[in-house]
A and B are shown apart, each in its own frame.
Chain A
């Protein structure tokens, strides 16, 4: 292919975009809408995951030991647990520390108690990378010699795991539906574009245009629509995201420990390339296969 051919067909593609303003606008709007919803779904998803992750990191299980188990053995078991991949952090809490913490909670009621009543409460707080591994880890720790009891918050762990995968599946399903709608619509736009230019295509073929030369403008048209269609919602989302962050920070300051949001660029560093690839990809494949189907010489 000559470089001049590339630019000629590209220019024809651009002209096509403007020639059928209404069809272009229709598919532009659809792609934009789809990618806008995709962007919102994605932003919510990653932020939710981030919140869950942060919350998860605060969820721990507590391991208590047999009465009179020597400190060295407790340390050994602690090290053994820490070595596991699903464990992010293990913190030792001595009996005195446990009592100090507890008595602080009791306040006045603890006054006058001089002997530590929690003699056997030396324990390990175990933090996980992934809450879904909790049940399995608990089973493992329970069978270690010297372990008396493992406390866990099963409910919290299950809730996090469940909600997390639900959000993921719903998002994936929604995105898949939207993308196929976009492909369908761009294919429709290109089909209409082809029928509108049937005469021109016929003439081109009589003159001896190669398949590439006939098809390229339509494929470029699809890709241009895809490109613009992905750029528009990105710009819009960027501002909406910033406004939303500000809003949450102002109105829901009391929930700030729970609503740990991601900064704009943490989201957009992924969202921008993914949206562009999806938009241009939809444009390319939508028009490429439509053109192949309708432009048999």
Chain B
């Protein structure tokens, strides 16, 4: 999606950041207990890229996603996402910034008491779309993820793979320029995993930048995309068309 909300900024480092969908430089983050979760992270992702973030448990993958969502603020360094300087963004600008991002999680995070249609429409209502737009956009995105026939089902009546499709539809219905997925296939069987991955690929082909966190070796090796590997909060490798790096 074309960016029309980009901020005009002066500094050259920040202007540099605007070439990228995501640009992290020298980023450090420690939790309250003082243990560093991420150390000196440098990561540049251009618009339209498909990137895996791999690494063993506790390596800092989710922390990275939270920094990108501005759920957490970095301790130092610079983070620029969609033209927003996340080190300086004001609290009240955060909602507007987040409308550029779509996000899905391992546990889907669907609203249990609402049906498929309402779960997706929910996202549109939050950004104050008109009911007319919603009636047009929701069915269209639901058929794009292959759930055209399941409007009225409640989440618990769906399989894990179907639930993740609903979550994807919800993340995509507002047409974000970046899709962040934290272990999207962590709860799925191999068949559904492959299906979801193909869906993510399709989304990426339509121009959305896709960042997928995973520690699923098969997925990474199958897709042959850029792979950034974290270990103990440090980027230990960043390869185009990479494979999963085993721990030794």
* Residues in chain A within 8 A of chain B (CB atoms): 2, 4-5, 8, 19, 199-200, 202-211, 213, 297
Contacts and interface: CB of A to CB of B under 8 A. Distances in A.
A209 B126 contact: yes
Contact of A297 (B91, B96, B101, B128): B91
28 contacts: A4-B128, A4-B130, A4-B131, A5-B128, A8-B125, A19-B113, A199-B111, A200-B111, A202-B109, A204-B126, A206-B71, A206-B98, A206-B103, A207-B98, A207-B122, A207-B127, A207-B170, A207-B174, A208-B96, A208-B97, A208-B98, A208-B101, A208-B126, A208-B127, A208-B174, A210-B92, A297-B91, A297-B95
B109 A205 contact: no
B235 interface: no
Interface in B63-101: 69, 71, 91-92, 94-99, 101
Interface residues of B, number: 25
Contacts of B97: 208
A211 B128 contact: no
B123 interface: yes
A253 to B, nearest CB: 60
Contacts of A2: 128
B199 to A, nearest CB: 19
Contact of B95 (A4, A5, A19, A208): A208
A209 B95 contact: yes
Nearest to A5: B128
A207 B98 CA distance: 6
A205 B128 contact: no
A205 B92 contact: no
B99 A208 contact: yes
Q: Which of B94, B131, B174 has the most CB of A within 10 A?
A: B94
Question: Which 7 pairs across A and B sit closest by C-beta, in order of nearness?
Answer: A208-B98, A208-B99, A209-B126, A208-B95, A210-B95, A207-B126, A207-B123
A203 B69 contact: no
B222 to A, nearest CB: 28
Q: Which of B92, B94, B111, B128 has the most CB of A within 10 A?
A: B128
B111 A205 contact: no
Contacts of B123: 207
Contacts of A206: 69, 71, 98, 103
A199 to B, nearest CB: 7
Q: Which of A8, A210, A211 has the most CB of B within 10 A?
A: A210
Nearest to B70: A297
A207 B69 CA distance: 10
Nearest to A296: B91
Nearest to A19: B113
Q: Which of A19, A202, A204 has the most CB of B within 10 A?
A: A204
A4 B126 CA distance: 11
Contacts of B111: 199-200, 203
Nearest to B113: A19
Given A199-B109, A200-B111, A211-B92, A205 B98 contact: yes
Contacts of A200: 111
Nearest to B119: A203
A78 B110 CA distance: 85
A77 B78 CA distance: 91
A207 B91 CA distance: 15
Contacts of B94: 297
A169 B15 CA distance: 68
A53 B186 CA distance: 78
B92 A213 contact: no
A202 B123 CA distance: 12
